[in-house]
C-alpha cells in the first residue's frame, strides 16, 4: 500500500486534474490487475477466460480508488506553496498533521466503501478484501465483530496513508537538513493500539456456558471427473458410508457433516433414499450433508439437508447466493456467448433459495445451525441474516475440488473465518477436499479452551502437512449457550458504507468547486 500511495501522490503538481485522475486510475488499475491475476490464478482450472476476465473487472475498483487517492485523497500540504506566502504564514505542524489525517480518513473510507460495493454489486465478489490479509493476526482481527472485515481494510489504508505521508516528509527534510515532529504518526499508532487492546480484551474473556457437540467432519476427496460420472455413483456412496461408520460404529456422535454435493443424484432419488435410510438406521446421529434437490415445478437447488433416523422429512436449506458461471449463467438467453465461459458441468441453471431460517437441531440438546453452502461463507451480510438469540453453530459445506491442489481452498478458509468473529459463532467446515476444519468464535482453528494442547483442528496429513487428502475428523465443538448479538450482526457493513459515502460526498463537493 505504501509504494502504491507514493506513486499516486508523487507527480508534477502542474498537471491538469483530468490527467491526474487518469494517471491515478491507470496506476490503481495496474496494481489491481496484478493483485487479482495472482490471487485468482486458480480460476484457470475452470476456464482460462474466467481467470482473466474476472481479474480485469475487479481491477476497476482499484482503478477508481487510485483516481480518488491521487486527487481528493492527496494531502493538501503536498501542493506547492504560493510564492507570495511568507515563511511565518506557512502551514503549522498541527495543520500538516491534520491534513495528513484527513487524507488518510478519506482514503481509508473510499477503500472500504469500494470493498463493500465489490461484495454486493453484480452478484458480489468480496473475495480477498484487504482486511483478509490479517487473518493470522488473531488479536487485530477481533474488531471485525464491530466493523466487519471491510472495516479492517480501513485501518490498513489509514495507517498506510499516514506512514506514506510521514516518509515523504522525512525524505524532504533529509534533503533540506531540517527536521520536525510528525504529529500524525502517533494518531496511526494510537489507532493500532486501540485495535490491539480491543482484541486482547476479547481473547482474554473467559468462556461462558457452552453446549459440547460431538461432531464428525468427512472429507471425501472425490475428484471432479468422478463426482458427476454415474458409473462412480455407488462407489462414492460406499466411500462416505465407510468413512462415517468407521467412527460412528465405535463411538457416539451428535452431528456428522458431509461436504457440498456429496452424493450423486438428487435428495429424493430412490437410490439415495435407500442408501441414507440404511446408513441412518445404524446409529442415532444427525447428518448434515450437501446435496442437490430436483423439485418438480420449483427448480434445482444446491442444498444442505439435515436427516435423523432416515431420509423422510428432511430439514433443508437451499443456497441463496449462487455462483455466476458456476451454478447459473447470467443473461444466458440475451448473450449466448456467455455459455462459453461457464463451467463445463453446468447445464440447467440452479434456482436460488429464499429462506434465511436457521436449521433447528436436537442432539445433544436444542441449538440451531447457520447453513452456508460453498462461498456463501464469504458474505457477512448474508450470514448475519441467520443470527438468532440462541445457541448457534455455523455449518459450511463446500467443494473446492473444482480448483485442484491450488491456493483456492486456503484463501477460502481465510475469508470464511471472519464470519465466526463477525457473528461470534463457531463454524464447522466440511470440504470435499482442501480445508475441512473447526473454527471457534474468535477465528482460531485451535481448541483454545480445551483440556489438551493439540494442534489445529483440521484434516491434515501429520507427516507432510498436506490437506488434500481423504479423511474424517472426529472432534468436539463448543457452542456458546448465550452468544452475543454483535454490532456487526445488527448493523452489517454500516461502518464501511458510512465512510465510503463520506468520501464520495467530499469527492463530489471538490469536483463541483473546481
pLDDT tens digit string along 290-333? 999 998 889 999 999 999 999 999 999 999 999 877 777 766 66
pLDDT in tens, 385-404: 999 999 999 999 999 988 88
**What would the mean pLDDT of 141-159 be, rounded to a whole number?**
98
User: For residues 206, 256, 224 and 410, what is the CA-based torsion angle, rounded to 10 degrees?
Assistant: 10
Structural domain includes residue 197: yes
Q: Is 260 a catalytic residue?
A: yes
**Does 376 qualify as catalytic in the annotation?**
no
Mean pLDDT of 68-84: 82
Dist CA 207 CA 450 (whole Å): 11
Residue that wins the pLDDT comparison between 4 and 404: 4
Residue 52 lies in a domain: yes
Judge if 283 and 247 occupy the same domain. Answer: yes
Q: pLDDT band for position 12 (50/70/90)?
A: confident
Q: Please check the confidence at residue 466 and state whether its pLDDT lies above 80.
A: yes
Return the closest-CA partner of residue 198 out of 130, 132, 145, 134. 145
pLDDT of 182 higher than 60: yes
pLDDT, residue 451, reads: 55
Measuring CA to CA, how many Å separate 84 from each of 12, 88, 272, 320, 456? Answer: 20, 12, 84, 63, 65
CA dihedral sign, ordered 380, 385, 388, 394:
negative
* 25 and 171 part of one domain: yes
Q: Say if residue 302 is in the same domain as residue 167.
A: no
Cβ contact 255:214 at 8 Å:
yes
What is the band of 224 on the pLDDT scale with cuts at 50, 70, 90?
confident
What domain range includes position 311?
210-481
Mean of pLDDT over the chain:
91
Residue 149 located in a structural domain: yes
Q: Which of 374, 420, 422, 475 is the catalytic position?
A: 374
Name the pTM for this structure.
Answer: 0.92
Q: Is the previous residue joined to 364 through a cis bond, with omega within 30 degrees of 0?
A: yes
Whole-number pLDDT of residue 244 = 96
Clarify whether residues 200 and 225 are in a common domain.
Answer: no
Instruction: Tell which wins on pLDDT, 454 or 91.
Output: 91
Q: Is residue 486 part of a domain?
A: no
What's the CA angle centered on 379, arms 373 and 385, to 5 degrees? 85
Catalytic residue from among 101, 112, 237, 260 = 260
Q: What is the pLDDT of residues 341-373, one digit of tens each?
A: 555 555 568 899 999 999 999 999 999 999 999
CA 224 to mean position of chain CA atoms: 24
Q: Are residues 350 and 314 in the same domain?
A: yes
More confident residue, 411 or 15: 411
In this structure, is residue 295 part of a structural domain? yes
> Do 114 and 229 fall into the same domain?
no
Asked if residue 83 has pLDDT above 70, the reply is: no
Mean per-residue pLDDT, 256-278: 93
Domain co-membership, 317 together with 330 = yes
Q: Minimal CA–CA distance to 159: which of 319, 2, 291, 385?
A: 2
Lowest mean pLDDT among 10-14, 124-128, 186-190, 489-493: 10-14
Q: Which bin fits 307, alpha (ψ -120 to 50), beta or left (φ > 0)?
A: beta
Measured CA to CA, the distance from residue 396 to residue 374 in angstroms comes to 7
The Cα–Cα gap between 182 and 184 comes to: 6
Selecting among 202, 227, 239, 319, the annotated active-site residue is 319
Average of pLDDT values for 247-262?
A: 94
Kindly state whether residues 162 and 288 are assigned to the same domain: no
d(CA 42, CA 323): 16
Integer Cα distance of 9 and 30 in angstroms: 16
In the prediction, which pLDDT does 265 show?
87
Residues 152 and 227 in one domain: no
Least confident span in 1-5, 54-58, 325-329: 325-329
Residue 502 has pLDDT above 80, yes or no: yes
pLDDT exceeds 90 at position 376: yes
> According to the model, what pLDDT value does residue 232 have?
85
Residues 145 and 175 both lie in one domain: yes
Domain total in the chain = 2
Whole-angstrom distance, CA of residue 169 vs CA of residue 184:
12
Query: In angstroms, rounded to a whole number, what is the distance separating the alpha carbons of residues 65 and 479?
Result: 40
148 with 32, same domain: the answer is yes
Please indicate, yes or no, if residue 488 is contained in any of the structural domains.
no
Please report, for the domain that includes residue 438, its CATH number: 3.60.110.10
Q: What is the mean pLDDT of residues 231-243?
A: 92
Asked whether residue 487 is assigned to any structural domain, the reply reads no
Q: In whole angstroms, what is the distance from residue 117 CA to residue 372 CA?
A: 21
Nearest to 379 by CA among 110, 36, 129: 129
* Distance in angstroms (rounded) separating the CA atoms of residues 441 and 211: 13
Looking at the structure, do residues 425 and 447 belong to the same domain, yes or no? yes
pLDDT band, very low/low/confident/very high, at 257 (cuts 50, 70, 90): very high
**453 has pLDDT over 60:** no
Query: Catalytic residue at 319?
Result: yes
Distance CA 291, CA 264 (A): 8
Element (H, E) at 352: none
Amino acid at each position: 500500500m505504501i509504494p502504491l500511495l507514493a506513486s499516486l501522490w508523487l507527480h508534477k503538481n502542474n498537471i491538469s486534474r483530468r490527467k491526474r485522475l487518469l494517471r491515478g486510475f491507470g496506476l490503481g488499475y495496474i496494481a489491481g490487475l496484478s493483485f487479482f491475476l495472482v490471487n485468482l490464478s486458480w480460476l484457470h482450472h475452470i476456464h482460462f477466460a474466467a481467470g482473466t476476465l474476472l481479474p480485469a473487472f475487479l481491477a476497476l475498483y482499484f482503478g477508481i480508488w487510485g483516481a480518488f487517492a491521487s486527487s481528493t485523497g492527496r494531502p493538501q500540504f503536498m501542493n506547492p506553496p504560493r510564492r507570495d506566502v511568507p515563511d511565518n504564514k506557512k502551514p503549522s505542524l498541527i495543520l500538516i498533521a491534520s491534513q495528513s489525517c484527513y487524507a488518510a480518513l478519506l482514503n481509508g473510507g473510499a477503500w472500504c466503501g469500494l470493498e463493500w460495493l465489490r461484495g454486493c454489486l453484480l452478484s458480489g465478489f468480496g473475495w480477498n478484501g484487504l482486511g483478509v490479509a490479517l487473518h493470522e493476526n488473531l488479536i487485530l482481527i477481533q474488531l471485525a465483530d464491530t466493523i466487519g472485515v471491510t472495516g479492517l481494510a480501513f485501518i490498513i489504508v489509514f495507517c498506510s496513508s499516514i506512514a506514506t505521508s510521514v516518509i515523504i516528509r522525512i525524505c524532504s527534510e533529509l534533503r533540506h537538513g531540517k527536521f520536525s515532529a510528525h504529529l500524525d504518526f502517533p494518531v496511526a499508532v494510537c489507532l493500532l493500539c486501540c485495535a490491539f487492546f480491543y482484541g486482547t480484551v476479547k481473547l482474554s474473556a473467559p468462556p461462558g456456558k457452552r453446549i459440547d457437540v460431538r461432531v464428525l467432519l468427512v472429507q471425501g476427496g472425490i475428484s471432479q471427473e468422478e463426482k458427476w460420472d454415474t458409473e462412480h455413483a455407488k462407489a462414492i456412496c460406499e466411500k462416505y458410508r465407510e468413512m462415517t461408520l468407521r467412527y460412528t460404529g465405535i463411538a457416539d456422535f451428535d452431528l456428522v457433516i458431509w461436504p457440498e454435493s456429496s452424493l450423486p443424484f438428487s435428495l429424493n432419488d430412490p437410490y439415495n433414499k435407500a442408501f441414507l435410510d440404511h446408513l441412518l438406521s445404524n446409529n442415532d446421529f444427525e447428518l448434515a450433508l450437501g446435496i442437490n434437490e430436483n423439485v418438480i415445478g420449483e427448480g434445482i437447488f444446491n442444498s444442505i439437508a439435515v436427516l435423523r433416523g432416515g431420509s423422510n422429512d428432511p430439514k433443508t436449506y437451499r443456497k441463496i447466493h449462487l455462483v455466476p458461471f458456476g451454478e447459473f449463467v447470467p443473461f444466458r438467453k440475451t448473450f449466448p456467448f456467455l455459455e462459453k465461459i461457464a463451467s463445463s458441468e453446468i447445464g440447467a441453471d440452479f434456482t436460488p433459495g429464499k429462506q434465511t431460517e436457521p436449521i433447528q437441531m436436537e442432539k445433544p440438546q436444542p441449538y440451531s445451525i447457520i447453513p452456508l453452502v460453498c462461498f456463501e461463507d464469504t458474505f457477512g451480510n448474508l450470514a448475519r441474516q441467520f443470527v438468532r438469540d440462541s445457541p448457534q453453530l455455523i455449518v459450511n459445506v463446500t467443494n473446492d475440488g473444482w480448483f485442484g491442489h491450488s491456493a483456492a481452498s486456503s484463501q477460502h478458509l481465510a475469508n470464511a473465518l471472519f464470519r465466526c468473529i463477525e457473528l461470534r459463532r463457531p463454524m464447522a467446515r466440511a470440504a470435499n477436499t482442501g480445508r475441512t476444519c473447526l473454527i471457534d468464535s474468535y477465528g482460531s482453528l485451535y481448541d483454545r479452551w480445551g483440556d489438551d494442547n493439540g494442534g489445529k483442528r483440521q484434516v491434515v496429513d501429520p507427516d507432510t502437512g498436506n490437506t488434500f487428502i481423504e479423511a474424517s475428523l472426529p472432534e468436539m465443538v463448543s457452542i456458546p449457550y448465550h452468544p452475543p448479538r454483535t454490532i456487526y450482526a445488527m448493523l452489517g457493513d454500516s461502518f464501511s458504507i458510512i465512510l465510503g459515502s463520506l468520501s464520495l460526498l467530499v469527492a463530489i463537493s471538490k469536483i463541483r468547486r473546481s
